[in-house]
Structure 1
Amino acid sequence: MATAPAAEEAAPKGGGSKKLIIILAAVLVLVLVGGGAAVMLLKKKQAADDSEDGADTAEAAPKAKAHPKSDHPPTFVPLDPFTVNLADKDVDRFAQIGITLQVDDPHFADQIKAYMPAIRSNVLMVLSHKTAVELLTQEGKEKLAKDIMRESVRPMGIELDDEDEDEAPAAADAPKKKKKKKKAHVESPVTQVLFSNFIVQ
């Protein structure tokens, strides 16, 4: 009789460890599923916030185009730092600016490197026509980034729309502007102009 209770006690212990493993596995699965759901909700919320911000930006600046997201990370093409005299007439001012171009296509990054002397020349021309007052404001920096984006692809035969020409057309120029707007929109292969250094003295 002593052997029967011992066998009965051994059986529940073995079954208890199996139950414990099953419970731990279930808890682990719940944690993983809950974590995955939380990540998905946060991504959806962030995407919704970004789309709302994008809608606000689109209302404020309807000319801005969103670049489609690609499957691979972007490629960054740093340009050597620029030091240039500014167009201020009263005082000699200069700027030292570090620029990096962001592109989605690595093959286009190689093409940029091949055209680098012409690109640097165009960027220097843009910078030398700016004044210190223009470069010190946020709007001035944003306009400079757009100008650099336009001029950095021009040596490769890509002509981007000049957004300043399209803004606030005069009534007398309305027919001319309408003809210009019918021109096909060209998407820039340079998705962003980033400043790594910006000193104005």
Structure 2
Amino acid sequence: MLKWIIIAVALIALGVGGYFGYTMFFASSDDAAGEEAAQDGAGGEALEDLEGQLVPLPTFLVNLADPLGRRYLKLGVEVEVRDEEAAAALTKHEAKVKDTLLLLLSSKTYDSLSTMKAKVELKQEIADRLNQIVGNGSVLRVYITEMVIQ
């Protein structure tokens, strides 16, 4: 009889542990996916952000504006644009894009790029400059794919 009681208690403990594990690890990701789907359906803006198109830009290699002039920045960037028209405008104005980004990047110093906050600000500055060229709101996000400061 004691053997059956121990087995019953062990099964109950396993059941409670399994339920706890499910609610902590699996149910929370299911709920988050459901909330995200509801947000996409209700607010069309979030859905548009997910459907952006990535456009790679050429790698930039510039001298930084340090006093000794011995530091270089190598930056690889991909830009997420709203639609095909924005991607076409970005490639059409490639010379303006390169000029604008080269001037922006060469005005930076090592100290102004060394923190994480500075890198996030750089991404925002690049997005703002590109939006001025291809049309306001066309550039959704900027992704830094490669960054070397030497």
Question: TM-score normalized by structure 2?
Answer: 0.68
Q: Is the aligned partner of 1:120 residue 2:98? A: yes
Compute the displacement of 1:126 (Å): 0.7
Partner of 2:149 in structure 1?
A: 200
Compute the displacement of 1:129 (Å): 0.6
Q: Is the aligned partner of 1:110 residue 2:59? A: no
Q: Tell me which amino acid in the other structure corresponds to 1:110.
A: A
Q: For the aligned residues, what is the CA RMSD?
A: 2.4
Q: Is the aligned partner of 1:130 residue 2:113? A: no
Paired residues, number = 116
- Provide the rounded CA distance (Å) in 2 between the counterparts of 1:84 and 1:94: 6
- Provide the rounded CA distance (Å) in 2 between the counterparts of 1:140 and 1:191: 19
Percentage of identical aligned residues: 26
Q: Tell me which amino acid in the other structure corresponds to 2:77.
A: I
Q: Secondary structure in 2 aligned to 1:197?
A: strand
Q: Is the aligned partner of 1:69 residue 2:47? A: yes
Q: Secondary structure in 1 aligned to 2:112?
A: helix
Write out aligned runs for 1:88-99 (5 A): 88-99=66-77
- Provide the rounded CA distance (Å) in 2 between the counterparts of 1:157 and 1:129: 24
- Provide the rounded CA distance (Å) in 1 between the counterparts of 2:30 and 2:63: 50
Instruction: Tell me: CA distance 1:68–1:136, structure 2 relative to 1, closer, same or farther (3 Å).
Output: same
Structure 2: 5+ residue stretches without partners: 1-26, 40-44
Give the number of the structure whose residues are more often strand, by fraction: 2
Q: Could you tell me which of 8, 31, 46 is aligned with 1:41?
A: 31
Question: TM-score normalized by structure 1?
Answer: 0.52
Q: Tell me which amino acid in the other structure corresponds to 1:103.
A: V
- Structure whose alpha-carbon radius of gyration is higher: 1
Compute the displacement of 1:73 (Å): 2.9
Partner of 2:128 in structure 1?
A: 150
CA contact (8 A) 1:119 1:153 kept: no
- Provide the rounded CA distance (Å) in 2 between the counterparts of 1:142 and 1:88: 20
Higher relative contact order (CA 8 A, sep 6+): 2
Structure 1: 5+ residue stretches without partners: 1-37, 51-66, 159-187
Deviations 1:16-52 (A, max 9, x none): xxxxxxxxxxxxxxxxxxxxxx67534136x4xx9xx
